[in-house]
Amino acid sequence: MADEKKPSKGGILQTFKDIVYGMSSHEMTRHAVRTRASMEHLFILITMGDLLGIPILPPYYSLRLLPYVTPQISAWKRRMLREKDITDTLG
Amino acid sequence: MSLRQVFESYPERRYIMFGGKGGLGKTTLSATCAFWLASQGKRVLLFSVDPQASLSDIFQRDIFGQGPVAIAQNLWAQEVDADRRIREYQDEIRKKILEMYGFERVPEEIDNYISAASAEPAMEESAIFDAVVDIIVKGDYDYYIYDLVPLGHALYYLSMAKVYDEWINKITKLREEMGQYDRVAATMRREETVEEDKILEELLYIKKRINSSSQILTDKSRTAFFFVLVPEEMIILDTRKAADLFARFDVPISGYVVNRVLPPELDRDNLPPYLRNRISLQRKYLEEIRTSLGKNVLAYVPEMERDVTGLAMIERLAERLFT
């Protein structure tokens, strides 16, 4: 706390704002981001299930979405194949 | 009502389908009907969603994969080359990935997926589905006549529209919810608004296509579905079952066409027993059809003395069917 109260060139107001943010809405933000991430994985499962051998209709349209999720595919596959979900430990 | 009266009374029914078991004359009737409508001054596209399409055979010229080919005045025919469509589509997807991320080549895992996806039977079906959407949303013609695949398959195709419809609506909703979480997080962090969701854009595009196609297929005011059957025991039973199934998928059944009816002049004395037997059997089944389907039968199509192929023969059948 002492560190945070030290006046810096960024202004004491900004520091204060950050503290309020940390106390009030950081947890909510984290929750929103985490829910969003889970939904992302669910979304990829629904559209790209074939990658794991789960055929989910219709493949022609899934392919259309593939370019947008290409960077996430590896992380998603790891997560799906893990026995325990990362959010179990964090939650 | 006759087939002609149906077309005249419901001019807004522009999407015409003939369904029935294999080999009963769906293609023949589709072609005849298309030919007659074209001769009435309507612009008609007859197209096939069957990988083993037979429009090339009936018109006696190769039209496979060539887009709409002019067959006669006001009449075009098209056979979709699903394999080529899939190949071109795959290349498009690969190109998009390379462009979006500046890759030298598509990551192996992704490339394998793209290749494997096309090997699935469902891929061909959904590709054909999409090709049909392409054809009908353009709206260049007065009439669209589907030369359908045999019953089970056709049912699958029609139900696909319904399943896809639900699928896309759900996924789009999920994606929209995801956007809400993005916005919540951004607002709380007091960040600038989040960038537009390209995936949602794609989904909305797919949704529009699927919804419009599925609406057409199940809309009684715009679509007419005719069952083709022949006076034979098994066919009558199967048609009855299929009609129930189709009704469950909200397919608007407009009537039945009985094909291969033996000409009455054939029935005379001194016939060999085989023929006499055949004729009396057919009469019995025709009676059965009359009792069970009654007014819903729009036409009894005579068995022609030779196969219906080529425009001259189609024209002859059209004259008998529509006058």
Of the residues B88, B188, B195, the best mutation for testing chain A's interface (the one with the most A CB atoms within 10 Å of its CB) is: B188
Strand segments (E) across chain B: 15-19, 44-48, 69-72, 75-79, 143-147, 223-229, 253-261, 297-302
A72, pLDDT greater than 90: no
Helix, coil or strand: residue B258: strand
A36 interaction partners in chain B (CB closer than 8 Å) = 178, 181-182, 185
Out of A32, A69, A73, the one facing B109 most closely (by C-beta) is A73
**Greater confidence, B218 or B171?**
B171
Q: What is the pLDDT of residue B316?
A: 94
Binary contact (A43, B174; C-beta < 8 A): yes
Report the C-alpha gap between A16 and A22 in whole angstroms: 10
| Matching residue, tokens 């891929």 | B123
Q: What is the mean pLDDT of residues B129-144?
A: 88
Scanning A58-87 for CB atoms below 8 A from B yields 58-71, 73-74
Does the CB of A52 have a partner CB in chain B at under 8 Å? no
Distance CA B181, CA B184 (A): 5
Q: What is the pLDDT at residue A55?
A: 63
- Please give the residue that has the higher pLDDT: either A32 or B67: B67
With an 8 Å Cβ cutoff, are A74 and B109 in contact? yes
| B145: confidence class by pLDDT, cuts 50, 70, 90 | very high
**Per-residue pLDDT tens over the stretch B218-268:** 788 998 999 999 999 999 999 988 888 888 877 778 999 999 999 888 878
Who among A35, A39, A74 is closest to B174 (CB)?
A39
Pick from A22-31, B145-154, B181-190, B194-203: least confident: B145-154
Tell me if chain A has a CB within 8 Å of the CB of B204.
Answer: no
Report yes or no on whether pTM surpasses 0.90: no
Look up the ipTM and state it.
Answer: 0.75
Number of other CB atoms surrounding residue B9 within 10 Å: 9
Query: Which residues share a beta bridge with B145?
Result: B16, B46
Query: CA nearest A33 in B: which residue?
Result: B185
Q: Please provide residue B116's backbone torsions phi and psi, each rounded to the nearest 5 degrees.
A: -65, -35
- On the 0-12 / 13-18 / 19+ scale of CB atoms within 10 A, B60 is exposed
Rounded average pLDDT over B149-171 = 75
CB contact under 8 A, A57 and B126: yes
Among the partner-chain residues B100, B116, B206, the one whose CB lies closest to the CB of A64 is: B206
